Structure 1
Amino acid sequence: MAAFVIIGTIIAVLALNVHETSAWSVSCSNPFSTCYGQLKSCPANCAQWCEVDCTTCNVQCACDKPGAVCQDPRFIGGDGVMFYFHGEKEKDFCIVSDPALHINAHFIGKRGSGMTRDFTWVQSLGILFSSHQLYIGAQTVGSWDNHVDALSLSFDGQPIVLPPRLGAVHDIPEAGVQITRVEGKNAVAIEVKGSMKLEAHVVPITKQESRVHNYDITSENCFAHLDLNFQFFNLSNDVNGILGQTYVPGYKSPVKVGIPMPILGGEHNYVSSSLFKTDCAVSKFGTVSSGSIRPASSVSCKNSDSGRGFICRR
């Protein structure tokens, strides 16, 4: 099967042979590109979610682009800086808070033997805008099966049922919302017109990941969670939240750049009392912005020559 993905200057065709491999092949579908139609394999660290930049012809991991929230959870800020935010399991944290948009993330996790903190992953999002509430979440799953859809969606408390086929669309015109299947199951793109776009993939903790990181995942719960990439439009200069603050002009990241796992602390500033509450300490939702409204700044990233990490430039 094939899917067309268009993100900024990135135009790619994705194809997956379900029976032979779990890795995607991608190619540029822009006929004016020098690498038009050339199949490229996704890197091992993003075997099912990568894209070809038709301008540079480089393969990019979506989890290595600005606006990404993936893994345990690892953030790539709007400034291109990578950092981790562990939080706590079974708690909610505001990742973006702006006068017209608020996004909370619910963390799931477990504490490994001898550990002093929880391993955590983003299980669901509560997105608030205008008077609306949009939910996207990963269902609790024992053993992972790619053929089973573990994605849940609702709008203003009403479940959304998307046919399990590539390209299926659910429109909510009165709210300017469009939800599109970017795979047959477990992956959607969501657009709130004039505000944001996100792509979300439900993924499990694999046996290999569990072994490498000592997660001690059992067949009772594979800790299915969301890997995410956001694009924002018309954020204000007052935007805050774990991810949101990184889009403020002149933002200086407090994390120690260059170390293997730079961690953003200050969990108490971002905790919300529930998924659709806007009561975190840094909340801006519903306030009057003191700064001008502006589009999010552009940052491009590519894998470093050393193969360790990546380089981002404005």
Structure 2
Amino acid sequence: MRRLLNIISTLFGITVIAAAGIAYYLYASFTGPGPSTEDKTLVIPKGSGVAEIAGILRSENVIEDTRIFLLGVRLLSEGKPLMAGEYVFPKGVSASGAMGIMIAGKSITHRLTIPEGLTVREVLELVSSEPLLDGPLPPQRPAEGALLPETYQFLRGESRASMIARMRDAMTEALAEEWEKRDRSILVKTPEEAVALASVVEKETSQADERARIAGVFYNRLKKGMPLQSDPTVIFAITLGQRKLNRGVTYDDLKTDSPYNTYLVKGLPPGPIANPGRAALRAVLQPMSHKELYFVADGTGGHAFAATLEEHNKNVANWRKVQKAQQTQ
């Protein structure tokens, strides 16, 4: 009996040692460096099970053994799911590390920049052509001026409809914030009017330091009952934002019969002609105070401003000289 007990005790000890050795080997294999020799960017599709994920990682040489990965996830993930997404798995990442990346959902973030002053059509074209977004555009076309231009971060596979909804929400939020900070003496009386005027300012200049000044010019003209006489509104009257004009504005264009033609119709256009950015909204709601009534391009990308028609005519003559010199060159 004593000999039997000794044998059983010895076998038990060997079993425990062997089990401990196996457990240590499995844990070391799960937490030790993986076989990859470079960073790997992989997409884990939606709906992938753990076995499918293990297969992807193994085929891309991120992990060495799918069985160890599956066992490690079962025992050490604490029941947390491995989330689908686009991930960077660093060079030599362990199976445990790969699991942690997917549990944390640390997907790669992409960016889509919407420049200021684009029409809704142009914004929709940008969103539609972004290959990392998914799904169709929303069935209902947003109103002109309803989308906020800025840089949006997104994950691969986000829907295009969701991206457009985010742009609409961002404009609503930005407009509400800027409206609260507005100069109470300005002539625009509603947020909608502010967006309409901001869209004209946005199309008139790309210079950040000119926006509030141009807004001031338009307010001065409105106070005197003068038409805004903005070329971008004439372009919108012709195209309705559905196409590019691809040429300069002619004298005949200035006669276009449209409520958007601010050469013929006094006051603001009936709605936005593009999507203004936050800076243009702020310029219209907090305009520069001055007595200027005119501005014209100066040949440097900016504008020359004038308080009188005589000054303006001189600026126009200078601009025509610049144009002539450019054409000659």
State whether TM-score is above 0.5: no
TM-score (norm 1): 0.27
Q: Which has the higher contact order (CA 8 A, sep 6+)?
A: 1
TM-score (norm 2): 0.27
More helix by share: 2
Q: Whose radius of gyration is greater, 1 or 2?
A: 2
